[in-house]
Structure 1
Amino acid sequence: MSTIQPLHDVEVIDALGADLRAAGYDSDGVGNLLGEQANEALGRGIWWPALRATRQAAAEVATLATIVRLFLLGSDEPEEAVSQAFPTTGNRRLVAAGVLERNDDGTLRAALDIRPHADDVRDYLVVSDQDAVMRSAPVRHDHVLGIGGASVSLARAVIREPARRALDIGTGCGIQALHLDAHCDEIVATDTNERALALAAATARLNGMTWDLRAGSLFEPVAGERFDLIVSNPPFVVGAGAQDYIYRDSGMIGDALCAELIRQLPDHLNPGGTAQLLANWIVHDDADWRDRVRAWLEPTGLDAWVVQRELADPVSYISLWLSDAGESTEAIAERGAAWLDWFTEQGIVGIGMGVITLRKRADGDAGEPDRVLEEITAAGEEVTGPEAQAFLARRTYLRTTADAHLLAARLTTSPVFLDSQSLPGDEGWQQISSAVRRPGGPGAVLGVDEVSTALLAGCRGTVPLGALIELLADFHGVDAEALAQAALPVVREAIERGILYEVR
């Protein structure tokens, strides 16, 4: 017998949406109510300034203050105040729909997390389960995560090209699907968790969207279908294969889920299609993480940009995932010890975490797959959609552009800085290294020497590269052809990093 999921009645969802909109429950409304400092503190997990602000709110925003306390602060609220906040829906229907629950003293508290979420396009409402901080017991086995750092980072990394069909694997509460709606005609979203699909359906309806929601693992729900864009924030947590919590545990051993997801991708991408996903991968002692991920990619034929953003040691990794389930200290100690024992038995010394961007070449675009696997960990160098799109375009340009064309091309630099490092010596400061850096570009740093610094400085979009090299060769008294052979790899790397580009 199937369990009745929360918010299964569309009439209740519509009434709830009407009440939330009437109260001004959106990012701007909440921000104005709380004030800048309290709102920023709440974003960092510090809740008491927000509670203070809602308690001091003016009468005209009392309804909004009640809603904020319910859904964002986990407060118990009087029956009458909640009735005033939800005049269309009514308390009884909200309790019956699993949105609110009644305490023994007659007060009401939120049973779900419903919160505003904004991007550059619009403001949304996202429905999920409350995290462990808001509850006094461990989260459910079928707990549905809300807005978190991983989901936001993937949303920022997705290339926002118009797409006819998009697929969101492991949609959870529907955050990726929300962002896909702005540039995709048709969205299919899947999950193995029936509760997640129910809350994703509520998220879609609250935001006036329609998604094709399907139950199943990986590509089972879309067998034989192809898409222009596939995104996934899957349950990638590395473990022994148990499935304690559906949102993090796939039930597959180690990093097998990510490997299998990538293996099946080519059969479901249209020519020219893109896939972007978050993944974790095992790192063994004395092994290069790139070799493991490269083995996943090898049979796919897909171009790839793999960026490792973090490498966690076993204790830090296990502690991270044990901290969000709300389990008792004893349970955490027992589960953590068993988990660490398994890591030790498997010879796992670290877990790599990052974002993978894949593209299936268009028909007629032959050649060996183009793959870059690198570690980029600096703050401010996160992968974004525009950067990912530009990186793939630059790699295509380099792959299809001969040296002769480059030598005839007029190149110019992006906005960059020249950074130099020097050490004090007997004759004053001695420069030991220099690099050109494009601010904000992931890994957009190029080490340079005196000649390459001069070459980049000369690339102003007016003189062909070959002519610049000849001028430099004449100045330094070297052979122009030899200098060109030495300079072209540097030029290509500068183009790859977005430091140089051709003026059309």
Structure 2
Amino acid sequence: MSTPSLPTPESSARLREALIAASFTADGLLDLLGAPAYAALARSETVPALRATRGDTPLETLVRLFLLQQPVPAALAGVALPLEQCLADGWLVREAGGAQDCVQDGVQATVDVRPYGGDEGQDWFIVSDLGRAVGGAGGAGTRDEAVVLGVGGASTTLAGITVRTPVSSALDLGTGSGIQALHAAQHATRVTATDLNPRALHFTRLTLALSGAPGADLREGSLYDPVGDDTYDLIVSNPPFVISPGARLTYRDGGMGGDDLCRTLVSQAGERLNEGGYAQFLANWQHVEGEDWQERLRSWVPRGCDAWIVQRDVQDITQYAELWLRDGGDHRTDPAQYAARYEAWLDEFEARKTKSVGFGWIALRKSGAEFPSVTIEEWPHPVEQPLGPVVRAHFERQDYLRTHDDAALLADHFKLADEVVQEQIGLPGAEDPEYVVLRQNRGMRRATKVDTVGAGFAGVSDGSLSAGRILDAIGQLLGEDPVLLRDRTPDAIRLLVEQGFLEPLGSTLGPLGQVGHRR
């Protein structure tokens, strides 16, 4: 595979200007293709986009060139781009057999350049290998060991859950095409990006340069080896987490047995984090016979770190093997070879007593607490991205709960978080509901059942009265002993605070991570 020469900053700026001038942006693509074709392109289905780009406008030319990997006449490319510069820098090559000076000859892209919208509407461009921007229904479909993928669902998931606060230093471990480093460059003074694959570091340079972002400190190597004893305020990684028999594909296979790569990545993060720093990962983990999967993950959490681990999906071993066999294009090989590879996956799982594989997010925050908070849960339900503010608020709530005993809790004031609604569930015409549900319409979109006291407490929590005074009023209304009510209710209040239904106004917390103030 050939890669383009690294453009100079001046030439990258000129190419970027040409792409934006032609509306080769995320918004421009949506306007040109329409929502169905745009969504199909994200699934690596190109036919709708080909039908929508039959004209000769600069935008249609760029879509065919960089996204659909179609040759275009040099004359059309010259209208859309600084042609000679793109040829000299290696972004484009002339079709084989074409005369060097004939403007009617075709040119082709050497890389995939994909428009990508930044957190604040910036026009960014992710550079990756041809045809590898997303896996789509058929997977990446490659057996090229050093291939560099572009934007996919995992990339955008990690970008969305990452805490975005100004920091001095950030580490993107296993940078790939550089999307996480690009995000980090917007709020970190210094960004370090590492990868075992030197091609990935080259693509990260291209992504940052073409997106107009500051450069990063790029280092080659595995796991934390390239950074030595350096520490960071933020660590992010979408690692090669696939649990596979061997390390055939650098971009996905970790090369360690079972889920050891993810375990190592997480367990060694604590010593690389500054106090108060965050580490956020995507990971796979084994569900092993006779072992509780939550306890397995609890053992990964480094000393002195709070953790929030969310399992988003679980696949049995046959589903898992089939998914990644398709991803590598093995389903298009000789049936006997496919069967042999399938057998190898099942042999690996059988040897490790693995019955299924979980996928999800792991977020750490170095709190230095004597008794760290470790929350491990299964949440396969839809969520609303970005979740970075929700992750930050989760850990801030742990600080609050850790420093407030029951007496302090009852003395504090609370407010029902924004976007929380109360639903009464019961038979039609019944005088009283069977139960009451509090439901979040934002963030994690949690729902929780509450009893009469909990529903009453949440309903009147507007910050004007302390928790204790509210319970006294509820006790009087229900004819319950207020002392007993004060004794048994704090645990329920803690749960509602922990899950983000109630905002403690005595802290800096606001609804779902926004700033709140005591009234």
Q: Give me the TM-score of the superposition, normalised by structure 2.
A: 0.87
- 1:172-211 to 2 correspondence within 5 Å? 172-208=176-212, 209-211=214-216
Larger mean Cα displacement after TM superposition, 316-325 or 35-44: 35-44
1:292 equivalent among 296, 309, 322: 296
Change in CA separation of 1:86 and 1:456 when aligned onto 2, cut-off 3 Å = closer
Match of 2:66 in 1: 71
**Equivalent residue runs for 1:17-28 within 5 Å:** 17-28=16-27
The residue aligned with 1:54 is 53
- The 10-residue stretch of structure 1 (375-384 or 451-460) with the greater mean CA deviation from structure 2: 375-384
Q: How far has the Cα of 1:139 moved from its partner?
A: 4.4
Closer, same or farther: CA 482–290 of 1 in aligned 2, 3 Å: same
Q: Distance in 2 between matches of 1:447 and 1:468?
A: 20
Mean Cα deviation higher: 322-331 or 393-402: 322-331
Match of 1:380, SS state, is coil
Identity of aligned residues (%): 38
Q: Count matched residues.
A: 489
> Kindly tell me: are residues 454 and 112 of structure 1, through their superposed partners in 2, closer, same or farther at Cα, counting changes over 3 Å?
same
Asked whether the 8 Å contact 2:413–2:504 carries over to 1, the reply is: yes
Equivalent-residue separation in structure 2 for 1:285 and 1:99 (angstroms):
53
Q: Following the alignment from structure 2 to structure 1, what is the Cα–Cα distance between the partners of residues 126 and 291?
A: 41
Q: Which SS does the other structure have where 1:323 is aligned?
A: helix
TM-aligned CA deviation for residue 14 of structure 1: 5.3
Residues 9 and 40 of structure 1: is their aligned pair in 2 closer, same or farther, counting only changes over 3 Å?
closer
CA offset at residue 111 of structure 1? 3.2
1:359 pairs with one of 349, 365, 368: 365
Three-state SS of the structure 1 residue aligned to 2:181 is helix
Task: In structure 2, give the amino acid aligned to 1:342.
Answer: E
**Alpha carbons 2:305, 2:369 under 8 Å: kept:** no
Q: In the aligned structure 2, how far is the partner of 1:141 from the partner of 1:204?
A: 24
| Superposition deviation, residue 471 in structure 1 | 1.8
Q: CA deviation at 1:307?
A: 0.7
C-alpha distance after superposition, 1:19-54 (max 9, x if no partner): 434433222332333244433443344432322221
In the other structure, the counterpart of 2:239 is: 234
Gaps of 5+ in 2: 99-104, 506-517
Within a 5 Å distance, the mapping from 1:398-413 to structure 2 comes to: 398-413=401-416
Amino acid at match of 2:454: S
Q: Residue by residue, what CA displacement relative to the aligned partner does 1:270-319 show, whole Å, maximum 9, x if unpaired?
A: 1111111111110023532111110111x422111111111111122222
CA distance in 1, matches of 2:139, 2:75: 23
Cα deviations by residue, 1:370-394 (Å, 9 ceiling, x for unpaired): 1111111101256710100111111
Gaps of 5+ in 1: none
Equivalence map 1:285-364=2 (5 Å): 285-297=289-301, 299-327=302-330, 328-330=332-334, 331-361=337-367
Whether the 8 Å contact between 2:4 and 2:110 is mirrored in structure 1 is no
Match of 2:513 in 1: none
* Correspondent of 1:156 among 146, 157, 160: 160
Kindly indicate whether the alpha-carbon contact (under 8 Å) linking 1:410 and 1:463 is maintained by their aligned counterparts in 2.
yes
**1:352 counterpart SS class:** strand
Partner of 1:224: 229
Matches within 5 A, 1:86-485: 86-90=81-85, 92-93=87-88, 97=90, 99-100=92-93, 102-103=95-96, 107-121=106-120, 122-129=122-129, 130-131=131-132, 138-208=142-212, 209-240=214-245, 242-297=246-301, 299-327=302-330, 328-330=332-334, 331-361=337-367, 366-380=369-383, 384-414=387-417, 415-422=419-426, 431-442=433-444, 444-485=446-487
Change (3 A) 1:202 1:423: same
Change (3 A) 1:136 1:145: closer
Task: Spell out, residue by residue over 1:124-179, the C-alpha distance to the aligned partner (whole angstroms, 9 max, x if none).
Answer: 01101122779998342101010000010000000001000111000000000111
Question: Given the superposition, is the C-alpha separation of residues 289 and 409 from structure 1 closer, same or farther in structure 2, using an over 3 Å criterion?
Answer: same
Helix, strand or coil: the match of 1:166?
strand
| CA 1:135–1:160: 2 relative to 1, 3 Å | closer
Matches of 2:82 and 2:458, distance apart in 1 = 66
